[in-house]
Amino acid sequence: MNPICIDLGSRNTRIATVSNGKPELIELEGNQSIPTFVYKGKSTAIGRDAETVGEENSSYLFGNLVNLIGRSFNENDMSVLMSYLPCSVTEGKNRRCMVVGLNQDNETVYDPTVILSFFVRNIIDQVYESGYKERFDSILLSYPHTFTDLQKDQLRKVANYTGLKHVDLISDTLAACLYSGVLNRSDDEVAIVVDCGVLTFDVSLIECKQGNYNVIASEGLNNIGGDSFTNVLLLMALQKLGIEYQSLDVHDLYILREAVEAAKIEMSETGNDASLTFKDRRCCKEIKEILNTAQEKGITPTTLVLAGRATQLPCFQRALVSTAKIRRAYQNVDASVALGLAMYSMTESYQADHRTCENCNPYCGDNLNEYGSMANPAIPDVIEYDFSSYDENQKDFSKYPSPTPIESVSSESREKFIKKFLIKTKKHCSESKLFECDRNCYIEKDVEPQNLDLGRVKSIKLKDRDMYNVGLKIQYALHDDDLDLLYQRNDEIDQTVEKNLQTTSNSTSIEIILYQGKTKNHKQCTKIRQYEYEIDPERRKKNHGYTLKVTIHSSASMDLKLTWRDNGQEIKLKDKHDLTDENMHSVYRNARMLNG
């Protein structure tokens, strides 16, 4: 058997195979990875060509599709995922996510599974064109452990559409564990494997005995990953440079984000510590869950394996290692998953599984002509595999040519921009207080209260329109807990006050003031924020009651004051919970949410 092993990442794809009995990376265009992008505008491109032309028009640049396949448009965290996607996402049949591309100047809806399979098929063709002589007969793809069965089903279809005989999927964490060499040791091992991808964070407890493995437990997050660090750096950079997020068009934001990503990689490689710890607690919580599971089963972990570029950030790495408390720890290289896949293809279990399987891909070879029958009833109908320049009636995808290479667009200006940006920000990675996190003080300076209209505030959308990044809006320093709280609203906010307020005919709005301190009358209490909440005119006219809901994080030491704007009369709220707790920590934490 001659397998091609593909680590199909959200941002980059790496390819490996077995050569002379050893796992080996396959380089394309002199690089060990290829960007996981497909551009479908008036022209078609994949990889770096797609990324380059997408700088000019990102509306038809498809990326991060691995995390989109098999997902429902109405999932709770879909708005977070969509904020990472350069392309437009729309709702298809059965509420499945579809993407919007361009076909002969007309916008066309495509199944992300089809786009991704087009990408995989073409990188295989590029491997052949690069001089690789042997033909592949099998394919292995990796997947995050947070993938649902439906997502894995769609990923298997991506592999099926290549037309290769044998198809297999294994998790990223298992592949990383194989690469670390844990299975090759004579002693029994129990490894905690951490893999932090672009948008996912996975932790697995893997028991290794005499060369065999058993995945005992897995935990993970599907909305936090390496891109979360990039977001923090981006917001910090915007604040430092005095740039309003709203003032950037899509093209400028894309270039700036690429520059920030380059700066983040620079930090990882040089060992600079930006103290980007906003997700330490959430990620470390997953490790603690795994440790609890091991304790319940009477198992003692002996090895910690870290995979994914984000785990190379010194501050994050220290947090993970200190939480696991395991002396033997390994930091894998970026290509560890792809090489781990190749090592898996050499195992006796893999060979045995496929030796008895004459053809485990029902859609290989001539069966590719049955492409139209592949659609799962629970998935939207598969869009025709049509990329305008190809014959739409041709169904044998193995005969499709690779996309025509596109000349670099604005590459010179892009390089100048990145260099200019790095000159401004690189020194701040280790010197500026902006990148430091002091858990004893989160407020840089006293801030005057500001009136903000909740219905019209334009602020950075991290999860949904009801989340406001107050840090940038009123010039607070943006620190770790800010974004952590914004990301984890459902998990962390548990104190709620509701009151049905009876309006009067002359009441136009409610003034809402948040205070820091034990009580609003305390001498150390400080007025933090001030909002004006407008009452709906029709509701006011009919003298109907109005429900006001305020949510505050449980560890905040805050108080609230509501007054009618027309007469200054204070509104008393005493339902359900008090908003203050004498036992709470007195330090104010930024980015509180106030929902009307």
Q: Rounded to the nearest 5°, which phi and psi values hold at 54?
A: -70, -15
- Cβ–Cβ < 8 Å for 77, 148: no
Lowest mean pLDDT among 122-136, 326-340, 400-414: 400-414
Spatial distance between the Cα atoms of 55 and 329, rounded to a whole number of angstroms = 39
| H/E stretch holding 6 | strand 3-8
Alpha helices in 102-225 (DSSP H): 112-129, 149-160, 172-179
CA neighbours within 13 Å on the CB side: how many for 476? 24
pLDDT digits (tens, 9 = 90+) for 92-109: 777 788 887 776 667 778
Return the sign of the alpha-carbon dihedral for residues 119, 120, 121, 125. positive
Is 162 a residue whose pLDDT tops 90?
no
Spatial distance between the Cα atoms of 336 and 34, rounded to a whole number of angstroms = 15
**Three-state secondary structure call for residue 424:** helix
pLDDT digits (tens, 9 = 90+) for 30-67: 788 888 888 877 778 888 888 888 777 777 788 878 87
pLDDT at 403: 30
**Three-state secondary structure call for residue 53:** helix
The encoded tokens of residue 385 equal 């595999």
- 571 closest CA partner among 495, 499, 496, 516: 499
In the CATH scheme, what is the homologous superfamily, with its name and number, of domain 3-226+279-355? ATPase, nucleotide binding domain (3.30.420.40)
pTM here is 0.55
The encoded tokens of residue 397 equal 């995808």
pLDDT digits (tens, 9 = 90+) for 513-546: 666 554 555 555 555 555 555 555 444 444 444 4
- 552 closest CA partner among 512, 524, 521, 523: 512
**Three-state secondary structure call for residue 539:** helix
The encoded tokens of residue 533 equal 């909440």
Amino acid sitting at position 110 = Y
Ranges of beta strands (E only) in 408-508 are 495-502
CA 355, 358, 362 angle in degrees (round to 5)? 130
Fold of 461-592: Substrate Binding Domain Of DNAk; Chain A, domain 1 (2.60.34)
Q: Give the model's confidence band at 5: pLDDT under 50 very low, under 70 low, under 90 confident, else very high.
A: very high
Cα distances (angstroms) measured from residue 265 to each of 47, 138, 427, 463: 19, 33, 14, 25
- 197 closest CA partner among 294, 356, 332: 332
- Computed over every residue of the chain, the mean pLDDT equals 61
Domain boundaries, the chain: 3-226+279-355, 461-592
Taking residues 259-265, report their average pLDDT: 66
Amino acid sitting at position 510 = I
Taking residues 439-451, report their average pLDDT: 27
The two domains 3-226+279-355 and 461-592 share their CATH topology (first three levels equal): no
